Amino acid sequence: MAKKPIINEQLITKTLEENFMPYAMSIIISRAIPEIDGFKPSHRKLLYTMYKKGLISGARTKSANVVGETMKLNPHGDAAIYETMVRLTEGNESLLLPLVDSKGSFGKHYSRDMAYAAARYTEVKLSPVCAEVFKDIDKNTVDFVDNYDGTMKEPRLLPTSFPNILVNPNQGIAAGMASNICSFNLREICGAATELIKNPDADIIPIMPAPDLPTGGEIIYNEEAMREIYRTGRGSFKIRSKYKYDKKQNCIEIYEIPYSTTIEAIIEKIAELIKANKIKEISDVRDETDKNGLKLTIDLKRGTDPDKLMARLFNQTPLCDSFACNFNVLIEGSPMVLGVSDILFEWIRFRRSCIKRAIKYDIEKKSDKLHLLEGLEKILLDIDRAIKIIRETEQEDMVIPNLMDGFKIDKVQAEFVAEIKLRNLNREHILKRTAEIESLNAELKQLRETLESKKKIDGVIVKQLKSVAAKYGSERKTTLISEDSIADAPAETFVDNYQIKLIRTAENYLKKISLVSLRSSGEQKLKEDDEIVQVIETSNTAEVLLFTSGGEVYKMKAHDIPDCKASQLGEYMPSMLDTRDSIVGMVTTFDYSGFVLFCFQNGKIAKVELKSYQTKLNRKKLVNAYSTASPVSKILFLAQDADLVAFSSIDKALVFSSASIALKTTRNSGGVNVMTPKKKSIMVDVKPASESGIADLKYYRTKNIPAVGCFIREEDKHSTQLKMEI
C-alpha cells in the first residue's frame, strides 16, 4: 500500500491569508507600532508595573525587581524587558523627556559599545513627569484588558495629559511597514496643541518650527521641506554635529552629534578616510566621553583650517546625517501615516475622551456620596428616634428595613447610617457631614456643565497642557541653521589637489602616480607581455572618462582612483568599473571643453564635442558613447584643431588637419572617410603630428581627404616607433 505524501498542496494565497496575515497584524498591533499615547505595549506594561509598585514616589528599587514584576504582564523574557527599560531611563539619554529616573550605568544612546550594567546593579523609579502620564488612570479614563494569562488587568492605553507621541522619539519595524517618529520640544508641542484646540486651521510652524532631538545638534533648516513632513508625516531633514576649536591644543572637540548615529560609526568613517589617504590633516581621533557628557576629539596637523576640515567631514562622515521621518501611528487598531497636525488632532480627541470619562467617574462618586449624606440629613431630624429603632429591633437583619421604613430612606442610605460609630452619633458631627451637601451639589452642577460643553473640556485640556509645559518644559536642545547659510562647496574643494600621471596599459591596468612619487621611482612594473599605451599628466581633481570596447564610457573622479607606485601593477580597470569589456581610450577634463576623435579601423574618424558627455546628474556610465560599427583603433582628445598623422597596416601614412572633419551632433556617429583602405588594409593609429616622429610632413599631406596616403620612408620608420615617455 502506497504511503500518502506528507506535504499537502495548498494555494499560496490561502497560506498568506490564514497564516501570515494574522502574524503580521499581531506584530503591527501588539509589538512594533506606537499608539496615540506614544507607547508600544512593552513600554506600557513596564511603566504600569512600576506605577502599581508605587515607584512614582519614594525611593528607587533594583531594576531586577521591576523586570521580574513586569513579566506578569510581558512574557517575552527578562532581557527584552530590561532593554526596554534602559531606553526609557534618564541615564541612557534616548528620550527628550525621560520617563524613568535611574541610578547606575545604563549605557548611552549615542554609543554602540558603551554597554549597560546588569539589572541587579542598577536602580530605578518613575520620573516626576509620569504623574502626567498616569493622570486620573484610577478614574476609569482608559479601558483595561486581561493580561496574557487572564490573572491581572492592564491598561490598553495610558491617559497622558500631554502629546507624548510627539515628545519622545519612537521607532518600530513591523511586517511590511515601519514607524520612525522624531521628538519635538515639550513646550512647543504643548503650545501647538493649545493653538490647534483654539483654531483647527492654525499654522503651527511658527510655534514649533522643527523637531528637537535628545542628542542636540543643528538642523539644516528648510521650511518648505519641514512643512511637507508636517503635512504628510514623511520626509527627511539633515542634522549635523556641533563642535568647537581648541586653539591651544590645536584640536576640534565635537560635543553633540546627530541622533541617528553613534560615536563609533563616526570614528570608523574618519579612520577609513585617513586610511584611504583622502584626509591628511588629522593626526589622531579619539573618544573622550566621560560623566560630563559626549566628547569626540580630533587632533589636527599644523596649519589646518578647522572650519574647512569640518566642512569636509560633514560631507563625508555621519557627523552630518539625515533623519527619515515616517509618522506611522496606530489609531484604534489601524496603522495610519499622519502629519503632525493630524496626530495632534487624534491626541486631542483621545484626551477629550479621557477627560469625559474622568468627569463621569467624579459625577458618579460624588452622586453616591451626596446620596449617603442626604440620608444622613434625614437622620439629623431625629437622632434619638434612629437610636431607638436600632435598640428596639430584636433581629439584626431587620435593622436596615426598620431604618428604611422609619425615615423613608433606601437600603444604601440605611446601611451607611447603621455603620456610623456610636461616638459620631452627635449633632455636631452630623451637621459637619451634612454641610457638604451644598458644596457637592455645586460641584456636581459644574461637572455636568463641563461634561456637556466641548469648549469647557477643551479648556481643561489647555489648562493641563500649560501646567505640564511650565513644570517639565525646557529650552530646545537642537538648534536651527539656515540651509542658505551653508556654502554648497563642490566636491573638488574637499580633495587634495596635486599633479599626477595616469598610465594605461594594453592589458587594462591603470596607474595613478603623483609626480613627486614618480621622480623617486624606478622602472614601471608591468605584467609580462604588457605595455604602456597611454600616459596623461593632469591634476587629482580632474574627471576621467574611460571608453570601453562595448561603446560605453565610464566617468569617475581622479581622486577616486587609489594612488599607486611604479613598483605596483595598478588597478585592473574591468574590475574597478564592473565591466567585461576592455578599455580602449582615456580622456581627462576639468570643464568638458575640446573634442574627441574616434578613429576606426575602416579608415573613418568621428569628431564629437566632449560636452556631449557632460551630464547635470552625477552619472557614472553612459551608453552609446561612440559607434561600434567598426573596431576603434584610437581615441584621441584635442583641445583645438591640429595636424594629425594616420597610419595604416600596410606602412602608409597620411597627414591631415582635424579642422577638415566636421563635428557630429550625435555621439555614436560612424564618422567621415579619412584614410581609404587598400588591399584589405586597416587604419591602425592616429597621432598628433608633433608626436608622430615624421620630419617632412609635406610629403605625406594630401590636398583632400579621403586618401590612401604614402608609404613611410625608411628614415621616418625608426622615428615613428619611439618609446612612450613616462
Q: What is the pLDDT of residue 487?
A: 57
Average pLDDT over residues 287-302: 91
417 pLDDT higher than 60: yes
491 pLDDT higher than 90: no
Q: What is the pLDDT of residue 620?
A: 84
Contact, 105 vs 70, CB < 8 A? Answer: no
426 pLDDT higher than 90: no
722 pLDDT higher than 50: no
Q: What is the pLDDT of residue 74?
A: 87
pLDDT digits (tens, 9 = 90+) for 557-567: 898 888 888 88
CB neighbours of 67 closer than 8 A, spacing ≥ 6?
Answer: 78, 81, 82, 85, 119
706: preceding bond cis by omega (within 30 degrees): yes
List the end-to-end C-alpha distance of the chain, in Å, as a whole number: 84
Q: What is the pLDDT of residue 357?
A: 96
What is the distance between the alpha carbons of residues 226 and 645, in angstroms, rounded to a whole number?
61
Average pLDDT over residues 215-227: 93
Average pLDDT over residues 491-501: 71
What is the distance between the alpha carbons of residues 694 and 717, in angstroms, rounded to a whole number?
8
Q: What average pLDDT is seen over the chain?
A: 89
Transcribe 489-529 into DSSP letters. --GGGGS---EEEEEEETTSEEEEEEHHHHHT--SPP--TT
Q: What is the pLDDT of residue 205?
A: 95
Kindly indicate the confidence band of residue 720, based on its pLDDT and cuts at 50, 70 and 90: low
Q: Single out the residue of 581, 599, 583, 567 nearest to residue 533, CA to CA.
A: 583
665 pLDDT higher than 90: no
Domain 39-157, CATH homologous superfamily name and number: Topoisomerase II, domain 5 (3.90.199.10)
Average pLDDT over residues 131-146: 94
Q: What is the pLDDT of residue 723?
A: 47
Each domain of the chain, given as residue ranges in start order, spans: 39-157, 242-318, 352-472, 491-720
pLDDT digits (tens, 9 = 90+) for 682-692: 999 999 988 88
Instruction: Check if 121 is active-site.
Output: yes
Q: Single out the residue of 81, 85, 112 nearest to residue 100, CA to CA.
A: 85
123 pLDDT higher than 50: yes
How many C-beta atoms surround the C-beta of residue 610 within 10 A? 18
Transcribe 270-302 into DSSP letters. HHHHHHTTS--SEEEEEE--BTTB--EEEEE-T
Kindly indicate the confidence band of residue 718, based on its pLDDT and cuts at 50, 70 and 90: low
Kindly indicate the confidence band of residue 26, based on its pLDDT and cuts at 50, 70 and 90: low
DSSP 8-state code for residue 165: H
403 pLDDT higher than 50: yes
375 pLDDT higher than 50: yes
Rg of the chain over CA atoms, in angstroms? 41
DSSP 8-state code for residue 424: G
Average pLDDT over residues 645-657: 91
Name the grid cell of 723. Answer: 618609446
pLDDT digits (tens, 9 = 90+) for 615-644: 876 778 899 999 999 999 999 999 999 999
Mean pLDDT: which of 390-404, 407-421, 485-499, 589-603 is highest?
Answer: 589-603
Q: Single out the residue of 615, 612, 684, 605 nearest to residue 652, CA to CA.
A: 684
Kindly indicate the confidence band of residue 374, based on its pLDDT and cuts at 50, 70 and 90: confident
Average pLDDT over residues 398-417: 86
What is the distance between the alpha carbons of residues 183 and 196, in angstroms, rounded to a whole number?
19
213 pLDDT higher than 80: yes
Contact, 469 vs 476, CB < 8 A? Answer: no
pLDDT digits (tens, 9 = 90+) for 152-165: 999 999 999 999 99
Average pLDDT over residues 79-88: 94
What is the distance between the alpha carbons of residues 354 and 159, in angstroms, rounded to a whole number?
6
Question: What stretches of 340-382 adopt beta strand conformation (E)?
Answer: none
Angle between helices 223-232 and 340-380 (to 10 degrees): 50
CATH 3.30.1360.40 for domain 242-318, yes or no, is yes
Angle between helices 340-380 and 436-452 (to 10 degrees): 150
Q: Single out the residue of 545, 638, 535 nearest to residue 593, CA to CA.
A: 638
Q: Which helix (H) or strand (E) is 374 found in, with range?
A: helix 340-380
Q: What is the pLDDT of residue 633?
A: 92
Q: Which helix (H) or strand (E) is 251 found in, with range?
A: strand 251-256
Q: What is the pLDDT of residue 619?
A: 77
Higher pLDDT, 294 or 702: 294
Q: What is the pLDDT of residue 702?
A: 83
Higher pLDDT, 255 or 428: 255
* C-alpha separations of 362 from 136, 140, 435, 530 in Å: 10, 10, 19, 93
Average pLDDT over residues 352-361: 96
What percent of the chain has pLDDT above 70?
Answer: 95
How many C-beta atoms surround the C-beta of residue 651 within 10 A? 15
Helix and strand counts by DSSP (H, E) for the chain: 21, 34
Q: What is the pLDDT of residue 175?
A: 72
Average pLDDT over residues 427-432: 76
Q: What is the pLDDT of residue 682?
A: 92
What is the distance between the alpha carbons of residues 579 and 626, in angstroms, rounded to a whole number?
17
| Choices 1.20.120.420, 1.10.268.10, 3.30.70.2190, 3.40.250.10: CATH for 352-472 | 1.10.268.10
pLDDT digits (tens, 9 = 90+) for 190-199: 999 999 999 9
Contact, 606 vs 627, CB < 8 A? Answer: yes
Q: What is the pLDDT of residue 379?
A: 79
Q: Which of 23, 51, 121, 148 is catalytic?
A: 121
681 pLDDT higher than 70: yes
In CATH, the number for domain 491-720 is: 2.120.10.90
Name the grid cell of 235. Answer: 520626509
